[in-house]
Amino acid sequence: MKSFSYANPTRILFGAGQIAAIARQIPESAKVLVTYGGGSIKKNGVYEQVMAALKGRSVAEFGGIEPNPTYETMMKAAEAARAAGSDFILAVGGGSVADGSKFLAAALAYDGDEPWDLVTGKAQIKRAVPLGVVLTLPATGSESNCAAVITHKGAGAKLAFMNPAVYPRFAVLDPETTLSLPPRQVANGVADAFVHVIEQYLTRPAGGMVQDAFAEALLRTLIAVGPKTLADLGDMDARANLMWAANQALNGLISVGVPQDWSTHMIGHELTALYGIDHARSLTIVLPAMMRVRQEAKHDKLVQYAAEVWGLKDGPEDARIAAAILKTEAFFRELGLPVRLGDARLGIDAAEKVAANLAAHGLVKLGEDEGVTPEVAVQVLTMAA
Amino acid sequence: MKSFSYANPTRILFGAGQIAAIARQIPESAKVLVTYGGGSIKKNGVYEQVMAALKGRSVAEFGGIEPNPTYETMMKAAEAARAAGSDFILAVGGGSVADGSKFLAAALAYDGDEPWDLVTGKAQIKRAVPLGVVLTLPATGSESNCAAVITHKGAGAKLAFMNPAVYPRFAVLDPETTLSLPPRQVANGVADAFVHVIEQYLTRPAGGMVQDAFAEALLRTLIAVGPKTLADLGDMDARANLMWAANQALNGLISVGVPQDWSTHMIGHELTALYGIDHARSLTIVLPAMMRVRQEAKHDKLVQYAAEVWGLKDGPEDARIAAAILKTEAFFRELGLPVRLGDARLGIDAAEKVAANLAAHGLVKLGEDEGVTPEVAVQVLTMAA
């Protein structure tokens, strides 16, 4: 285990009716900007609950944050916030609304000319306007971590940043807010959380027994509750466990002191940027092929994954690994997700295009051992054809 | 899963050499009171590392905090802190030093006449002097939770309090600081952490899949690394995993939204108060008997415990439970710990004395279902005879 420094300051308010509790978390005197996405919160009752909780406060709002939130949209949000004098952001939605609002929180507290510099790293985030999240889509874990991914349409770039200043002060996780999600979004969320765990777990043995066992616990939970949630959309027990598992999947806990991969995400990002396929669906196409291509480098952890996540403990190791990858694919398929380029109507030409974009973005040594070059990405996407 | 509110603000600084990092965590201008126990930190190099990290700062010190820290001792520490004008407490030691220092931190910020009221609940803790911990004994988890147990010798009482104001600002977990621990203390720490997890896990099914799986992960880790640490006192990998597991065992994470028991601890506290046996050793005597006596109420979770922690999945359920309890006992025995009253040279008369003290302390409805009355405590200790 490597040395680490870890704290997660976000207060989790979990359970039905917890939206009402935000009143105690936001200062009475705050001027709140409520941010949201396409407006589903106005149809499923979440908007009303939020406004009821904020009754009597100074509240402005900004809607229309898109999936893969853009710099351009969030700069409009910044204008709205400045016009309203907002000094507290309440993000209501999924990971995109949370991510966009993290950038907004940093941009509002920045006195430089070009807030995009905060994303590229050209400027350092030193402070941010306080932020809270009401989560409606269990998937990204953004509600209690300090990372965000922002797309600059003008520059054709999709970049991630991390800074402790943008940890949400609180995150409301009420499983009932997820009841109106379309099944496709539920499935995407399960897969997104699953691959988050894999990126922090399926690397090389590093002596992190608790980290490994926690990761395996989350993977097994997602495998159990994902299909259950889709089979019975009203199963509140499954929804609650899905929401908590997706949160724990990316709040920093399982990655302390151990290596991380993230090459599946980087290749997936390029697929999404090129072809507009859902983030989670890009991951379910890439991951099984990545496991196959990187079988040698990840051998020991693949054997462990087969045993601890899928119960495959007998027979030759390579056969166990092959079976575990097949089970991973079957799990994604059961969720209705693609596992081949063809499932998303993409051809093998995607491989070279993704590799070219990875190279153009300087992403030429990915993975826990920097072994995923653009050439390896071509192998992976060829395997996924 | 029940609703919950959870945050843990303590920054964990994990790994060899992390004591040096406390310099960045304590304000330059702080007047630090370093608190410690019997002086082992002066023999194993930890004291020197702490003082080197605090070089140039205003530092006073208070040693002599005993196991089961007393109100009387900590009031002397308060005098020392006031004399030195201390405004930051740095607790260096195990759970007793951390617990005592939490009380000290609250007492120093209290303007009432009788700080003991903060422990009994007669007065409310509203603030505390900031506190950091350098942990030298993995066991209690006190380094990153907001609970403490304090003994009032004069009043013959041993009471726990919890308050968010006493969360340590940071906790240094350097496995190397544990190398000089006597094997008895290592074994006690493993058992203490193990029973902490059991108290939050072995109750009734409550739909907390992640909580259950995290608890099982910690139990399996402790079962693996406990004997390993004792077999090879220089095994740093085992020590690191033990230290991280003991921390995660009682930082609030695994108990969110699920029932808790703690009856083994309450009975154990009375055994310690009456006969002076080590805290952890009181727990290893009580727990197997508690599992047997409470087999009906805990049936479903005992079956799960047998399967997920000990791999016992075949045969009649009662046989699996019996085997799991025997394995629990064998694990404690392997650590050199007592599992019967007789192992600690106690007789069956302890049963009635403990029951009388539980009744005298108002502890008459313990456990997740309030099913552990003083009469049940007698059954448990009779079973442990």
Indicate yes or no: CB of B214 within 8 angstroms of CB of A217.
yes
Report d(CA B110, CA B120) in Å as an integer: 14
**CA–CA gap between residue B373 and residue A307 (Å, rounded):** 43
Q: Quote the minimal CA–CA distance from A141 to chain B in Å.
A: 15
Residue among B173, B209, B229 with most chain A CBs within 10 A, to mutate: B209
CB atoms within 10 A of CB B1: 21
Residue type for position A89? I
Q: Which residue of B has its CA nearest to A218?
A: B210
Asked if A4 and B11 come within 8 Å (Cβ–Cβ), the reply is no
Distance of CA A223 to the CA centre of its chain: 17
Of B10, B11, B213, the CB nearest to A220: B213
Whether A14 sits inside 8 A of B7 (CB atoms) is no
Query: Residue range A172-182: average pLDDT?
Result: 96
**B210–A16 CB contact, under 8 Å:** no
Q: What is the pLDDT of residue A96?
A: 96
* pLDDT confidence bin for A155, thresholds 50/70/90: confident
Chain segment A47-98, per-residue pLDDT in tens:
999 999 999 999 999 999 999 999 999 999 999 999 999 999 999 999 999 9
Contact of A127 with A112, CB cutoff 8 Å: no
The residue type of A344 is A
| CB atoms A6 and B3 under 8 Å | no
- Band of the pLDDT at A156, cuts 50, 70, 90? confident
C-alpha Rg value of chain A to the nearest Å: 20
Q: Cβ contact (<8 Å) for A14 and B257?
A: yes
Cross-chain CB nearest to A5 (options B13, B209, B241): B13
Chain B contact for A205, CB < 8 A?
no
Residue B5, min C-alpha distance to chain A (Å): 5
Interhelix angle for B374-383 vs B279-293, to 10°? 100
Mean of the per-residue pLDDT values of chain A: 97
Determine how many CB atoms are found less than 10 A away from the CB of residue B82.
Answer: 11
Could you tell me if B172 lies within 8 Å of chain A, comparing CB atoms? Answer: no
Q: Where in chain A is the domain with CATH 3.40.50.1970?
A: 11-177
Q: Is B197 helix (H, G, I), strand (E, B) or coil?
A: helix
**CA distance between the termini of chain A:** 37
**A21–B5 CB contact, under 8 Å:** yes
Enumerate the residues of chain B whose CB falls inside 8 A of the CB of residue A170.
Answer: 7
Best of A6, A173, A210 to substitute, by most chain B Cβ atoms within 10 angstroms, is: A210
CB contact under 8 A, B221 and A244: no
- Where do the CATH 1.20.1090.10 domains begin and end in chain A? 183-383
d(CA A293, CA A264): 12
Query: In the predicted model, is pLDDT for residue A139 greater than 90?
Result: yes
User: Which residues from chain B sit within 8 angstroms of residue A252, using beta carbons?
Assistant: none
Interchain contact, A15 vs B8, CB within 8 Å? no
The residue that leads in pLDDT, A46 or B155, is A46
| Contacts (Cβ under 8 Å, ≥6 apart) of A219 | A194, A197, A198, A201, A305, A309
Q: Which of A209, A236, A309 to mutate to test the interface with B (most CBs of B within 10 A)?
A: A209
Q: What angle do CA A262, A264, A266 make, to 5 degrees?
A: 70
Are residues B1 and A10, on separate chains, in Cβ contact within 8 Å?
Answer: no
Answer whether residue A166 shows pLDDT above 90: yes
Distance (Å) from the C-alpha of residue A59 to the closest C-alpha of chain B? 25
Are A217 and B217 an interchain contact pair (Cβ–Cβ within 8 Å)? Answer: yes
- Distance in angstroms (rounded) separating the CA atoms of residues A45 and B164: 33
- Give the whole-angstrom CA distance, residue B191 versus residue B165: 28
CB contact under 8 A, A256 and B217: no
Question: In chain A, what percentage of residues exceed pLDDT 90?
Answer: 97
Note whether A270 and A358 are within 8 A (CB): yes
Res A170 pLDDT > 90: yes
Cβ within 8 Å, pair A9-B7: yes
* Distance (Å) from the alpha carbon of A14 to chain B's nearest alpha carbon: 5
Q: Could you give the maximum distance between any two Cα atoms of chain A, in Å?
A: 66
Burial A20-44 (b: 16+ CB within 10 A, else e): ebbeebbeeebebbbbbbeebbeeb
Interface of A with B in 99-128 (CB under 8 A): none
Verify whether the Cβ–Cβ distance A207 to B14 is below 8 Å.
no
Tell me how far apart the alpha carbons of residues B206 and B250 are, in angstroms, rounded to a whole number: 19
Binary contact (B210, A225; C-beta < 8 A): no
Residue showing tokens 């993995």: B138
ipTM for the whole predicted complex goes beyond 0.95? yes
Q: Are B175 and B239 in contact (CB under 8 A)?
A: yes
Q: In chain A, what residues touch B239 (CB-CB under 8 Å)?
A: none
The answer to whether A144 faces chain B, any CB pair under 8 Å, is no
A13 contact B CB<8A = yes
From the candidates B6, B12, B169, B210, which should be mutated to test the interface with A, based on the most A CB atoms within 10 A? B210
Question: Which residues on neighbouring strands pair with residue A58, listed in sequence order?
Answer: A31
Measured distance CA(B5)–CA(A179) in Å, rounded: 21
Inspect the interface and report whether the beta carbons of B248 and A7 lie closer than 8 Å: no
Report yes or no: B4 at the A interface, CB cutoff 8 Å: yes
Query: Scanning every residue of chain B, which has its alpha carbon at the shortest distance from the alpha carbon of A217?
Result: B213
Q: Supply A232's token pair.
A: 């019975």
pLDDT band at A34 (very low <50, low <70, confident <90, very high): very high
Residue A123 pLDDT > 90: yes
Q: What local confidence, expressed as pLDDT, does residue A112 receive?
A: 95
CB–CB of B15 and A4 under 8 A?
yes
Find the CB nearest A224 among B209, B216, B225.
B209
Question: How many angstroms away from the CA of B217 is the closest CA of chain A?
Answer: 5
C-alpha distances in angstroms, B296 versus A138, B209, B303, B355? Answer: 37, 22, 11, 21
The reply to whether residue A9 touches residue B12, judged by beta carbons under 8 angstroms, is: no
Q: Is A214 on the interface with B (CB under 8 A)?
A: yes
- Is residue B231 within 8 Å of B238, Cβ to Cβ? no
A91's torsion region: left (phi>0), alpha (psi -120 to 50) or beta?
Answer: beta
The whole-number pLDDT of residue B120 equals: 93
Q: What CATH fold (topology level) applies to the domain B182-383?
A: Dehydroquinate synthase-like, alpha domain (1.20.1090)
- How much is the pLDDT for B273? 87
Cα–Cα distance for residue pair A286/A328, rounded to 1 Å: 12
The reply to whether residue A257 touches residue B14, judged by beta carbons under 8 angstroms, is yes
B12 touches chain A (CB under 8 A): yes
How distant is the Cα of B243 from the closest Cα of chain A, in angstroms? Answer: 10
Contacts of A358 (CB under 8 A, 6+ apart): A266, A267, A270, A364, A366, A374, A377
pLDDT reported for residue B333: 98
The CATH number of domain A183-383 is 3.30.70.120: no
Cβ–Cβ of B6/A11 closer than 8 Å? Answer: yes
State the Cα–Cα distance between residues B298 and B201, nearest whole angstrom.
Answer: 10
**pLDDT tens column, A261-320:** 999 999 999 999 899 999 999 999 999 999 999 999 999 999 999 999 999 999 999 999
| Cβ within 8 Å, pair B15-A1 | yes
The answer to whether residue B14 neighbours chain A at the CB level (below 8 Å) is yes
Asked if B237's CB is within 8 angstroms of A207's CB, the reply is yes
The pLDDT tens digits along chain B (385 residues) read: 999 999 999 999 999 999 999 999 999 999 999 999 998 999 999 999 999 999 999 999 999 999 999 999 999 999 999 999 999 999 999 999 999 999 999 999 999 999 999 999 999 999 999 999 999 999 999 999 999 999 999 987 888 999 999 999 999 999 999 999 999 999 999 999 999 999 999 999 999 999 999 999 999 999 999 999 999 999 999 999 999 999 999 999 999 999 999 999 999 999 998 999 999 999 999 999 999 999 999 999 999 999 999 999 999 999 999 999 999 999 999 999 999 999 999 999 999 999 999 999 899 999 999 999 999 999 999 999 9
Contacts of B197 in chain A (CB under 8 A): none
Query: Cβ atoms within 10 A of the Cβ of A162, count?
Result: 12
CATH of B11-177 given 3.30.1540.20, 3.30.70.100, 3.40.50.1970, 3.40.50.300 = 3.40.50.1970
The SS3 assignment for B32 reads strand
From B1, B7, B213, residue closest to A11, measured CB to CB: B7
A358 has pLDDT over 90: yes
DSSP letters for B327-356: HHHHHHHHTT---SGGGGT--THHHHHHHH
Q: How far, in whole angstroms, is CA A219 from its chain's centroid?
A: 15
Neighbours of B163 (CB within 10 A): 18
Kindly report the nearest CA distance between residue A179 and chain B, in angstroms. Answer: 17
